[in-house]
Structure 1
Amino acid sequence: MQWPEQRVILTGAGGGMGRLLAAELAERGCHLALLDANGEALEDLLSQLEPRRVTGITVDLSHADICMAAADQAQEFLGGVDILINLAGMMSFRAYDDEDPQAIERLLHVNLLAPMWLTRAVLPTMRRQGQGAIINIGSIFGSIGFAHFTAYSTSKAGLRGFSEALRRELADSGIHVGYIAPRAVRTPMNDDRIQRMGEATGMHMDPPEQVVQTIIEAIEQRRKECFIGFPESLFVRINALFPRIVDNALKKQNRIARSYATGDA
């Protein structure tokens, strides 16, 4: 795939990985529609990019009608769309019995339903073109359900299932569907509690620059699925075949993590 002149919609552009990914895409000559809920972060990012090739759209991704309108606005600016990258996401690290029901609903809207809504909005354009790419940024947590990340893991598991089903549905359309799953990344989304828990449990956390480069490569190679990080990528396969082995392997880590999830550590 050749990057220059590709028309890209990127959600979560104002965040830690989003800013880096937007800059990489701009450097490669893409035309960009950048979506984020944080208008100030988006404006700061836009000031660093070439105005002719980029627009920013401040949008609350937790509402279907707003998502669809934002997708239409992005396509109008771009004159169509070649690639949709669903990067935006919310994190939740706490004991499930402490989760607020409204927070669960919002997390599922942003992490799972927004990518589905936005994909629905761009598919007619991609079908008319006979080509396009839907790239969903998931998580290793979507294949290995981690304790105290229950709502987050559930949302990413749903995103993986959506990607797999849609890929099969669009197999003869010329539209590529990719699912890219990083392990933990050192961004502000993983707050101090998660950072300290990660140190206590030996959790691997990757620098965002490294993850962004892998995302770029996976899109270039049109990979259907990409799991980032070893041994986590191996555990994904083990968990799919022998989940009870992973249950036992995570027992100690889960006990340590609980003290951070409940605020006792």
Structure 2
Amino acid sequence: MQLRDRRFLLLGGTGGIGQALIPQLLSEGARLLVATRRPDSVTLPEGVTAVKLDLAAPNLDEQLQALTDEWPDVYGVIHCAGQNRFASIEQSTMADIDGQLMVNLRSAMVVARHFVPVFKALDGGALVFVGSTFGSIGYPGYSAYCATKFGLRGFTEALRRELADSLVQVQYFAPRATVTDMNPEPVNQLNRALGNTMDPPGQVAAQLVSAMKRDQRRCYLGWPEKLFVAINGVLPRLVDRAMLKQLPVIRRFLDSGVQL
């Protein structure tokens, strides 16, 4: 995929991986729109434009139409917005569940629904979705988050096959644990206790840009996480046993009473 002189709409660009993507994409010559609910409240590098978009809004489709009316030259969308909450299912509020469903999954589907015909009319375009290792491995304390990321992975797989005879590209990118403000300190402590590697967001962003340039349809990061994804697909009982051994440590943080 060529990035230079092409305009991309970046969703989730004001924090974490998305924020780290901005300088990486600019260095490749891309032109950027960064979506945010409050464009006036963000400071962005020169040449990057903030646009108003609320991914959890019921009228997201109307907002997307207004955006493309103003910016008809959008070539690609990078969806790396997300919400999560480390909580047992009984601790999860309806707001927690609804928020994750709306932002992590529904918004990705609405974005694709809007941009697929736009890109077909332009004879090409790219839809890039940032998922997670937890889109392939169910993990205790992240049942709602995993459900949305499993859904996102399935959606992108089906969409890629649906558009296989077109010039619209669909890419799925799955990082492992990443150091971002979305993770509260108890989650960082849990990862350290379990010996889980947490990648810096700049490193993840660089690998995402590399995957885009190589037209890599699916990209999973991290070892041994990629191995666990493969094992979980064919021998899930082995992963069940490994998770059972980790469960006492996970519960120590999950049931600590800390509001994460």
**Same fold judged by TM-score > 0.5?**
yes
Q: Does 1:134 align with 2:127?
A: yes
CA contact (8 A) 1:57 1:70 kept: no
- Secondary structure of the residue aligned to 2:74 is coil
Is 1:194 aligned to residue 191 of structure 2?
Answer: no
Residue 53 of structure 2 corresponds to which residue in structure 1? 59
Shift in Å at residue 209 of structure 1? 0.8
Q: Give the 5 Å matches for 1:16-95.
A: 16-37=16-37, 39=39, 43-45=42-44, 48-50=45-47, 54-65=48-59, 67-95=60-88
Q: Relative to 1, partners in 2 of residues 1:249 and 1:99: Cα closer, same or farther, differing over 3 Å? A: same
Deviations along 1:138-184, one digit per CA (max 9) or x if unpaired, are 00001001010111111100000000000000000111111100001
Residue equivalent to 2:95: 102
Alpha-carbon displacement from aligned partner over 1:26-82 (angstroms, at most 9, x marks no partner): 2222221211235466x212xx222xxx321233211241x2233234323432321
* 1:9 aligned partner, one-letter code: L
The residue type equivalent to 1:254 in the other structure is L
Q: Quote the Cα distance in structure 1 between the aligned partners of 2:63 and 2:185.
A: 32
Equivalent residue for 2:229?
236
Aligned length: 258
Q: TM-score, normalised by structure 1?
A: 0.92
Quote the sequence identity (%): 36
The 8 Å contact of residues 14 and 38 in structure 1, kept in 2 or not, is answered as no
Judging changes above 3 Å, is the alpha-carbon distance between structure 1 residues 187 and 149 closer, same or farther for their aligned structure 2 residues? same
Q: What CA distance in whole angstroms lies between the structure 1 residues aligned with 2:207 and 2:128?
A: 13
List runs of 5+ in structure 1 lacking aligned partners. Answer: none
Query: What is the match of residue 248 of structure 2?
Result: 255
Higher mean C-alpha displacement, 30-39 vs 237-246 = 30-39
The one-letter amino acid paired with 1:62 is A
**1:155 matched to which residue of 2?**
148
Stretch moving more, 72-81 or 130-139 = 72-81
Does the CA contact (< 8 Å) of 1:239 and 1:246 recur in 2? Answer: yes
The 2-side partners of 1:133 and 1:213 are apart by 18
Task: Report the more deviating stretch, 17-26 or 84-93.
Answer: 17-26
Structure 2 residue matching 1:180: 3-state secondary structure: strand
Q: Which runs of 4+ in 1 moved over 3 A?
A: 37-41
Cα distance in 2 for residues equivalent to 1:216 and 1:234: 23
Q: Secondary structure at the match of 2:156?
A: helix
Distance (Å, rounded) in 1 between the aligned partners of 2:204 and 2:104: 18
Equivalent position to 1:206, from 199, 210, 215:
199
Q: Distance in 2 between matches of 1:207 and 1:115?
A: 24
- Structure 2 gaps of 5+ residues are none
Superposition RMSD in Å: 1.6
Name the CA distance, whole Å, in 2 between partners of 1:237 and 1:74: 39
CA distance in 1, matches of 2:65, 2:29: 22
Give the aligned residue type for 1:178.
Answer: Q
User: What TM-score, normalized by structure 2, do the two folds share?
Assistant: 0.94
1:23 counterpart letter in structure 2:
P
The 2-side partners of 1:245 and 1:133 are apart by: 37
**Kindly tell me: are residues 157 and 38 of structure 1, through their superposed partners in 2, closer, same or farther at Cα, counting changes over 3 Å?**
farther
**What one-letter code is carried by the residue in structure 1 that aligns with 2:162?**
E
Q: Secondary structure of 1:125's match?
A: helix
